[in-house]
Amino acid sequence: MPPSAGPVEKPPAAASASVVKPAQAYVDAVNAGDLDALVTSFAPEAEIVDVSRSIRGHDAIRAWADAEVIGGTLRVVSIVENRPDGQKLLVHWAPADSDGWRAHYDFTVGDDRILKADLQYA
């Protein structure tokens, strides 16, 4: 048996965790340009807070995503916080024809759907 090199440090829980399924479905839908999949990643009465605007329900989410999200790219940089009801992500969001910027996307989830997404500049 080789000698031990000392204790092995574990990364923080947030660094080794996975993106929760509903949030990953949202990220995947954005990157695939799939408006229907994006909308169905949300519960029917879900709310998005886009900086200071409130967007509520599937119809409003569809209109917002079609006008402002589809065509862009979204990359998860890191998981900032894990909670029993969701997680906060640091992302790089780039609308079409843009270099983009970093933002915090805070997802509250339930029953494998997004209940609330709070999207704020980082």
How many structural domains compose the chain? 1
| Residue 7 belongs to a domain | no
| Residue 4 belongs to a domain | no
**Residue 4 tokens, joined:** 């031990």
CATH code assigned at 115: 3.10.450.50
For the chain, 122 residues long, give each residue's pLDDT as a single digit of tens. Answer: 444 444 444 444 444 469 999 999 999 999 999 999 999 999 999 999 999 999 999 999 999 999 999 999 999 999 999 999 999 999 999 999 999 999 999 999 999 999 999 999 99
| Angle, CA 18 vertex, CA 44 and CA 23 arms, to 5° | 20
| Residue 1 belongs to a domain | no
- Burial class of 118 by CB neighbour count within 10 A (0 to 12, 13 to 18, 19+): middle
* Distance separating alpha carbons of residues 8 and 18, to the nearest angstrom: 21
Domain of 101 in residue numbering reads as 18-121
Q: What is the pTM of this model?
A: 0.86
